[in-house]
Amino acid sequence: MKVEDLFQRMMHDVKRYPSIEGVTFLGGEPFLQANPLALLGKMLRGEGLSIMTFSGFTYEAIQKANRSDWNELLGVTDLLIDGPYIDALHDLSRPWVGSLNQKYRFLTSKYAHLKDELRTIQNKVEVHVHPDGSVHINGIARKIDLEQLKNLLNI
C-alpha cells in the first residue's frame, strides 16, 4: 500500500473518531520500515497527531546505528518504547510493555506528563467482536487471561 493511501485511510478514521489523538507504530519492527513510517509520521504529525513507536531494538542500538532513516523515524516519534520482549522478564506492572527490560523514551514533551504516572496506569486488553464474527484483540495480557478468553470465544 502506498503511504499516501494509508494516510488517507487513517485520516478518514480520525475524522470518524475525533477522540483519536495519535498513532502507534509496532509489529514488523518499525525501524526495518523506517523510510515509509517516517514519511507517514510526518504527514500525521502535520495533522496534529502524536506518534508512539515500539521497537525490539534498544534506543542505544538505534542511536549507534546512526542511520538517516532511523533518525528520521525517531524524529517523528513522541514516545519510543524500546527493547525486545523477554519472556523470562515478563511483567505487566506498567502500561504498554510486557517485560521489565523495556523502557519508555519520551522524545518530545507530548507525553512527558506520564513519566510520574506510569505505575498508576494499568495494562488493558481491548476485545472487538465484529458483525462478521471476526475478533480483534489489542493490548498486553497475562497468558492465563488470553487462554480464558480463547475458551470463552471458542477459538
Q: Show the domain range for 115.
A: 3-119
93 and 30 in a common domain: yes
Q: Is residue 27 a contact partner of residue 11, using CB atoms and an 8 Å limit?
A: no
70 and 23 in a common domain: yes
65 and 114 in a common domain: yes
141 and 79 in a common domain: no
Residue 53, beta-bridge partner list: 25, 80
143 and 81 in a common domain: no
79 and 51 in a common domain: yes
154 and 111 in a common domain: no
Beta strands in the chain (DSSP E): 22-25, 50-55, 79-82, 103-106, 125-129, 135-139
155 and 93 in a common domain: no
73 and 135 in a common domain: no
- Phi, psi values for residue 126, rounded to 5°: -105, 130
15 in helix, strand or coil? Answer: helix
27-77: per-residue pLDDT in tens? 889 999 999 999 999 999 999 999 999 999 999 999 999 999 999 999 999
Looking at the 3D structure of the chain, how many domains does it have? 2
pLDDT band at 143 (very low <50, low <70, confident <90, very high): confident
The amino acid at 135: V
Q: Is residue 23 a contact partner of residue 51, using CB atoms and an 8 Å limit?
A: yes
Buried b (16+ CB within 10 A) or exposed e, 5-21: eebeebeeebeeeeeee
102 and 33 in a common domain: yes
pLDDT band at 3 (very low <50, low <70, confident <90, very high): very high
108 and 74 in a common domain: yes
